[in-house]
A and B are shown apart, each in its own frame.
Chain A
Amino acid sequence: MAEDWQPEFEQLVDEHQSMVFSLALRMTGDRGLAEEIAQDVFVELDRNLRKLESPLHVTHWLRRVAMSRSADALRRRRVRSTDLWVEIAEHHGATVEDRTSPLSVRIEQLLVTLPESQRAAIVLRYQEDMTPEEIAATLDAPLATVKSQLQRGLKLLRSKAEAHLKEFVRGA
């Protein structure tokens, strides 16, 4: 029940910081900006905590706000994909953890070159393992639009991967 749920803010940060940071990172392609967005999202969570009724509600709310803040940040910066490539090389790629395979890193880098709406759908689908219905609810978009964005995004990403990741494909 909503009344029984007593959220602990610090515990919520511990639980969800990875999700929020990863969403922002994959949407912006900039580690520093992603960290700022994640901070803002959690500060806003603190302000809105009383309105949230369950752990599931918190997760849903955090996804929505993280995606929305990331879109705002991208709009403010108006970063072109070429600039993003430089930033990825400088910030993002440099901090990739050992457990991440080079192929995964390159796929992640290609993701940043997709149109924003397709990127959002792809990230929620493959990072958060969400259904198109859940993605539509999170992004406040019609289901048909989300399905179309997923299909187009996947197709575009696949073609980019085929063009840019041949060395990995041959090496595999």
Chain B
Amino acid sequence: MDDFERELHAAFARRAAPPDLKRKVMKQLWEQAGHARRRMVWFERIAASLVLVAVAGSALLWRNIVDRRRGEEASQQVITALRITNHALERMNIQLDEQQKH
């Protein structure tokens, strides 16, 4: 190593970083963490809204199904009642026909 290279070593000693470099780095990280937190809050809000919509939709669907089932049961009962009435009327007709024959 000659004099010039020794001078290069001396000239290229590390320089002190600006005194506020670390503070700026920490601030930048803090701001990025803040953005990430805000993104997370929005994500949580959207997720909560989706869950609410899904629950409300399911409740409406369930209510619709229950109502339809009740309607079907009611119509089934009416049909059964009509059958019974029909059956009773037929028996009455038969009895009337037999009385007229006698």
Chief secondary structure at chain B's binding surface: helix
Other-chain residue from A26, A38, A111, A161 in contact with B21 (beta carbon distance below 8 A): A38
Chain A residue nearest to B6 in the complex (CB): A126
Q: How far is the CA of A161 from the CA of B7 in the complex (A)?
A: 11
Known: A18-B14, A43-B28. A154 touches B22 (CB 8 A): no
Structural contact, A127 and B17, CB atoms closer than 8 A: no
Known: A25-B15, A97-B15. A17 touches B22 (CB 8 A): yes
* Interface of chain B residues 16 through 59 with chain A (CB within 8 A): 16-18, 21-22, 24-26, 28-29, 32
Task: Report the minimal beta-carbon distance from B43 to chain A, rounded to whole angstroms.
Answer: 20
* Interface of chain A residues 99 through 128 with chain B (CB within 8 A): 100-101, 103-105, 107-108, 111, 122-123, 126-127
Q: For this complex, into which size category does the number of interface residues on chain B fall?
A: 20 to 34
Interface string of A20-47 (1 = CB under 8 A from B): 1110011000010001001100110010
Known: A43-B28, A46-B29, A158-B4. A123 touches B14 (CB 8 A): no
Q: Is A143 an interface residue (CB 8 A)?
A: no
Other-chain residue from A35, A42, A126 in contact with B18 (beta carbon distance below 8 A): A35
* Interface of chain A residues 66 through 98 with chain B (CB within 8 A): 97
Chain A residue nearest to B27 in the complex (CB): A39
Residues on B with beta carbons closer than 8 Å to the beta carbon of A35 = 17-18, 21, 24
Q: Is A13 an interface residue (CB 8 A)?
A: yes
Q: Is B96 an interface residue (CB 8 A)?
A: no
Known: A39-B28, A154-B5, A158-B4. A17 touches B10 (CB 8 A): no
Structural contact, A104 and B16, CB atoms closer than 8 A: no
Q: Is B101 an interface residue (CB 8 A)?
A: no
Residues on B with beta carbons closer than 8 Å to the beta carbon of A8 = none
Q: Which residues of A contact B (CB under 8 A)?
A: 10, 13-14, 17-22, 25-26, 31, 35, 38-39, 42-43, 46, 97, 100-101, 103-105, 107-108, 111, 122-123, 126-127, 129, 154, 157-158, 161
What are 24 A-B pairs with beta-carbon distances under 8 A?
A: A13-B22, A17-B17, A17-B21, A20-B17, A21-B18, A21-B21, A22-B12, A22-B14, A22-B17, A25-B15, A31-B18, A35-B17, A35-B21, A35-B24, A39-B24, A39-B25, A39-B28, A43-B25, A46-B29, A105-B11, A123-B12, A126-B9, A127-B14, A154-B8
Knowing that A21-B15, A129-B9 are A-B contacts, what are 6 other residue pairs whose CB atoms are under 8 Å apart, sorted by A's residue number?
Answer: A17-B17, A22-B15, A22-B17, A101-B11, A104-B7, A158-B4
